[in-house]
Structure 1
Amino acid sequence: MRMKETPGWTQDTYITVYDHDDASFEGVTELLRRCIGFGQDNALAWARHIDRNGSAKLGPWTQDIARTVHAEMMRLAPQYGCACLRATLEDEEIAQPAPAAARPARKAHQVLNEIFGDWPADSLVIVRRDFPAYLRVDVQLALDALTATARRVGIHSSHRYDASDMATLVSERDHAKLIGAIQYEDIDIGEGRPVRLATNALSLIDDPDAPLAVWVNTGADFAQMPQLNVEILSPPGEAAAARTGAMLEAIEAAVAKGRSYRGKVLSLEASETYRGTAANALTVHFRTPVSEDELILPDAVKRALDRHIIGFAAQRDALKALGQSGKKGVLLYGPPGTGKTHTIRYLAERLRDHTTFLVTAEQVGMIGTYFRLARLFAPSILVIEDADLIARQRDTMASACDEVMLNRLLNELDGLKSDADLFVVMTTNRPQTLEAALIQRPGRIDHAIEVPVPDADCRERLLRLYGHGLRIDADVAADLVARTEGVSAAFIKEIARRLAQQSIFAGHAGHIAADDLGDVLDEMLGERDGLNLRLLGGNTSGSASLG
């Protein structure tokens, strides 16, 4: 039931200024500018309003501030030729309309008072729920659906980075937030068209028995990690409490579904805090499809991938029904350029129902956040590239921070529940440097798969793949395969590009002659180009032949 008495916190005080024939128009204008704080144009507009209508009601302010302003106006009036000016203090809920050119902007507490003015301020209830800032899209889309019929207004502050909470919007008067346009921000979620989200919207749900106001703002937790704060203002009573609880539960359910990001390839955008690196937003990566024909690896390696990852995912439910774990750790190791990253793209394409998270070396400080996201969006694949940078042997670590990172990784792996539908896939060029506690304990790394340099059959298939637009005679292709033993897949890819460039330079674009092959291999395999050879994954031990 609504209360009929208006509580004291809503009783704003106004100053009514009356016109007088002996009062100077310029003096009234200057008094309004100096005492009320109007700009020159506003002061002129209000002075004209007083002159034409006989009076004007200004404000509101709190009672103490109104008295101070009134006293200063009366003190200065004689100095501006307005000794006969009369101004009175009045307590009233609604002021008369101001002239259009100078109408003061409405304030947040006034809009809230329109809905909650029948309840005492100290009886109102604010419930807050915090979410990680990187889940903002799903939080706000859920909130938009729940408040689709609500009235929405934009909240503006004089300070750009002022993140006000609901209590401030309700109570602040001296520096009250103003009502204005709703601002929006476009967020890319990898679906062609970005999602448009409001950044300053206050949603007002007017209901006779259980009105609500919903406010979303950004802040930080005790560790200075970015947070999204959802606050709901309501009157006392079970009906309003139930409605608030249902709304927050619906938001949490939407976050758990993760419709905006599930099944995509993601990484975290980092922001710096005094405690280190924090997750600020999710980045969606363009998925590069890799078909089975484009994954050129030895048959034994492909069988291992099918059995221990793709097949495991297909059999996961059956395994869990037999009491086995649904999580698995896999290590992909091999020389640089052999196709470990290419293999990750293939796995992401084959397991499209899994959400893939890419953890690069510079993001290992956010490994805990990545694991939480992987659990939330399960089934998922958590890829840790260059694992030797975070999990190298303890006796080779340069500082205590390195050991902290290793321990955090091991704790996260150990903390995964057995029913977690999660692959942790690590890659490394230097498996011999990995910490024994990682690779020798079951449940952390369950299977290691070598991605070797391509054999003769793979080199021939790689040449066909990367040189599909070239006309290469069979004897030339055979010569190339024979002379590139020990090189990487990346090396073969670069050979195909240089052959194409050489054919253009020689005046027969697209047709690869024996002389073209000789020129390119002499350049790429020659001792004078040893650095390029190492960068591209060539064999520097001498097995690659100059012919």
Structure 2
Amino acid sequence: MAEGDDEVAEFARLFRGFLERMQQPPSGIARENLRERLMVFLEVEPEGLPVVAADFPSFDLPNVQLAIESWFDSFELIGLIGMDRGHLSLAELLDHAAGQRFGIGAVDYQRISIDVDEEMDCVSFGIYLGRQGDDRYVALLRAANPQYGRMSVMLEILATTREAGERFLGALPELIRERNVFRGKVVSFEGHEFGHGVGPFRLHPRPGIAREDVVLPEGVLERVEREVIGIAEHREALLRAGQHLRRGILLYGPPGTGKTHTVRYLLSRLPEFTVVLLAGTSIMYISQACSLARKLQPALVVLEDCDLIAESRDHMMGMGNPLLFQVLNEMDGLAEEADVAFLLTTNRADILEPALAQRPGRVDLAVEVPLPDADSRARLLALYGPQLELSPEVVDEIVTETEGTTASFAKELVRRAVLLAAENGTEAGDAEIKAAAAELLSARDVLTRRLLGGTADSATDDAGEATPWGVGPARPGIHPGSVGWEQ
């Protein structure tokens, strides 16, 4: 061995000795040994006792902890002191504890949000010494730690018999379901910054939107309510008649017409429903969303802009769309009696993958949310600008001029009128709303109109006819023969 290698080996030996010395308690201070504590608790030597293990989604840590603590008649919670404890299994920890490597220490906790304004201190590394009837258990609970490659909550259970350990594990799923802190909450999934896999929940306040604040053409909202809310209200009658509860509803139409607003209203009407929101790249977590919905039903799974993952396979160079198939399979995989509603929204129904509609049982109802008609545009002005002092004549004028615009356009129109009034030190009224409309409908604001949901690039509509200020009537939706929903 070269002289340099000898020096490296000697340094490694000294450094290891230093680390081992650092783990020893100060002179004169005795540190209770893990093995000794377990022998006193179990009344037998822990080595050789069976260990059973299970893992759970990272976001389920609060629920796993509550389930464990509810299973035990009584328990004590202890921590460990020692290097590398996080990388060793429970059996390995016991082996090393015999050599005084690990001693009893403080429990590790991490604070986790369980509601918009509520947090819970959860065990991130701790050992439960618990009793249930005549059985005694040692349960090691570890939180997920993606930074070091642990993507799931890990639970290892040592019991005097394997049957006792299996009985404990078998009881946990139902206990987790019963005590789930996310029941009735509105949640969305996020990825982990340290790698693949679902990360923590983001919790959202449940919207509070009144029915009169949803402006849609006559009959549109009623159809959606009957499919989403009506089935929930008549659940027992449907089950008695042998009818399924699982349902899929698609809201389609151009951007800015109120699809998301309608979804938010439905959330307001279903306070007892657990809601899982998926949009954009988070749709990849559809499996976890459906698993959660299944456990916490009644539930609503919202997939916003589903066309992003349901485009034609032609865009995938003939390779198919695995994420689309996963969404369809998950929707079909729930039992028919599951009280779970899938609510999908899209701006581009014309490019939706035909399979989404042609496979029975995935989408039961497709409802167009169109550009607002004249009556709806007048109602939108009243909704967004109740403080505006507008004459009936000006309202009629604005409604006529804004044909082909969206609900988002109406909202911005009112805001701009109020801003103009504030700049002039006046109250917003006829003059301000007309000035705001002139700005938004001017040739220089074509892009603004498009970003607010306008669909025309020029001052003609799809038929070549002139339209006011380049905002043409949109022709969104599902056209005969394009997707297969309309026969």
- Could you tell me the TM-score, scaled by structure 2's length? 0.83
Partner residue, 2:376: 458
Asked if residue 534 in structure 1 is aligned to residue 437 in structure 2, the reply is no
Cα 1:311/1:518, change in 2 over 3 Å: same
Determine helix, strand or coil for the equivalent of 2:330.
helix
Q: Please tell me the residue identity of whatever aligns with 2:187.
A: L
Distance 1:264 1:209 in 2: 37
Asked if residue 254 in structure 1 is aligned to residue 144 in structure 2, the reply is no
> Quick check: 1:151–1:204 contact (8 Å CA) kept in 2?
yes
Distance 1:241 1:365 in 2: 37
Q: Please tell me the residue identity of whatever aligns with 2:449.
A: L
Determine helix, strand or coil for the equivalent of 1:471.
coil
Partner residue, 1:271: 192
Distance 1:251 1:460 in 2: 55
Q: Please tell me the residue identity of whatever aligns with 1:494.
A: E
Partner residue, 2:89: 165
Q: Over residues 70-106 of structure 1, what are the superposed CA-to-partner deviations in whole Å (9 max), with x where a residue is unaligned?
A: xxxxxxxxxxxxxxxxxxxxxxxxxxxx8x7652544
Per-residue deviation, 1:152: 1.8
Distance 2:307 2:428 in 1: 43
Partner residue, 1:4: none
Q: Please tell me the residue identity of whatever aligns with 2:429.
A: I
Determine helix, strand or coil for the equivalent of 1:129.
strand
Q: Please tell me the residue identity of whatever aligns with 2:324.
A: L
Distance 1:469 1:394 in 2: 50
Partner residue, 2:419: 501
Distance 1:159 1:512 in 2: 70
Distance 1:441 1:151 in 2: 53
> Quick check: 2:252–2:347 contact (8 Å CA) kept in 1?
yes
Distance 1:386 1:181 in 2: 47
Asked if residue 199 in structure 1 is aligned to residue 116 in structure 2, the reply is no
Asked if residue 521 in structure 1 is aligned to residue 437 in structure 2, the reply is yes
Q: Which of 289-298 and 460-469 deviates more? A: 460-469
> Quick check: 1:522–1:546 contact (8 Å CA) kept in 2?
no
Question: How much identity, in percent, do the aligned residues show?
Answer: 34
Q: Over residues 130-185 of structure 1, what are the superposed CA-to-partner deviations in whole Å (9 max), with x where a residue is unaligned?
A: 2222222111122233457422212244359x343211221114683342222322
Q: Over residues 46-85 of structure 1, what are the superposed CA-to-partner deviations in whole Å (9 max), with x where a residue is unaligned?
A: xxxxxxxxxxxx98xxxxxxxxxxxxxxxxxxxxxxxxxx
Q: Please tell me the residue identity of whatever aligns with 2:260.
A: T
Partner residue, 1:392: 311
Q: How does 1:154-233 map to 2 (within 5 A)?
A: 154-159=79-84, 162-173=86-97, 176-190=101-115, 192-205=117-130, 210-218=135-143, 226-233=151-158
Q: Please tell me the residue identity of whatever aligns with 2:338.
A: A
Partner residue, 1:512: 429
Distance 1:37 1:313 in 2: 66
Q: Which of 110-119 and 210-219 deviates more? A: 110-119
Q: How does 1:312-323 map to 2 (within 5 A)?
A: 312-323=231-242
Partner residue, 2:346: 428
Distance 2:437 2:470 in 1: 7
> Quick check: 2:61–2:143 contact (8 Å CA) kept in 1?
no
Cα 1:311/1:167, change in 2 over 3 Å: same
Please point out which of 257, 262, 274 is paired with 1:355. Answer: 274
Q: Over residues 527-546 of structure 1, what are the superposed CA-to-partner deviations in whole Å (9 max), with x where a residue is unaligned?
A: 11111110011353463459
Q: Over residues 265-297 of structure 1, what are the superposed CA-to-partner deviations in whole Å (9 max), with x where a residue is unaligned?
A: 1112212687xx412332221112111011111
Asked if residue 445 in structure 1 is aligned to residue 369 in structure 2, the reply is no
Please point out which of 300, 324, 327 is paired with 2:243. Answer: 324
Per-residue deviation, 1:264: 1.5
Determine helix, strand or coil for the equivalent of 2:39.
helix
Asked if residue 129 in structure 1 is aligned to residue 47 in structure 2, the reply is no
Per-residue deviation, 1:245: 4.8
Partner residue, 1:138: 63
Cα 1:247/1:455, change in 2 over 3 Å: same
Per-residue deviation, 1:347: 1.0
Partner residue, 1:112: 38
Distance 1:209 1:261 in 2: 33
Partner residue, 2:321: 403
Q: Please tell me the residue identity of whatever aligns with 1:537.
A: G
Asked if residue 307 in structure 1 is aligned to residue 226 in structure 2, the reply is yes
Distance 1:523 1:208 in 2: 76
Distance 1:205 1:411 in 2: 41
Answer with 1 or 2: which has the greater Rg.
Answer: 1
Distance 1:205 1:320 in 2: 41
> Quick check: 1:156–1:200 contact (8 Å CA) kept in 2?
no
> Quick check: 1:134–1:282 contact (8 Å CA) kept in 2?
yes
Q: Please tell me the residue identity of whatever aligns with 1:512.
A: G
Per-residue deviation, 1:438: 1.2
Per-residue deviation, 1:447: 1.0
- Could you tell me the TM-score, scaled by structure 1's length? 0.74
Q: Over residues 451-494 of structure 1, what are the superposed CA-to-partner deviations in whole Å (9 max), with x where a residue is unaligned?
A: 11111221122112211233333333332222111111011111
Determine helix, strand or coil for the equivalent of 2:219.
helix
Cα 1:198/1:148, change in 2 over 3 Å: farther
> Quick check: 1:184–1:197 contact (8 Å CA) kept in 2?
yes
Determine helix, strand or coil for the equivalent of 2:254.
coil
Total equivalences in the alignment: 447
Partner residue, 1:46: none
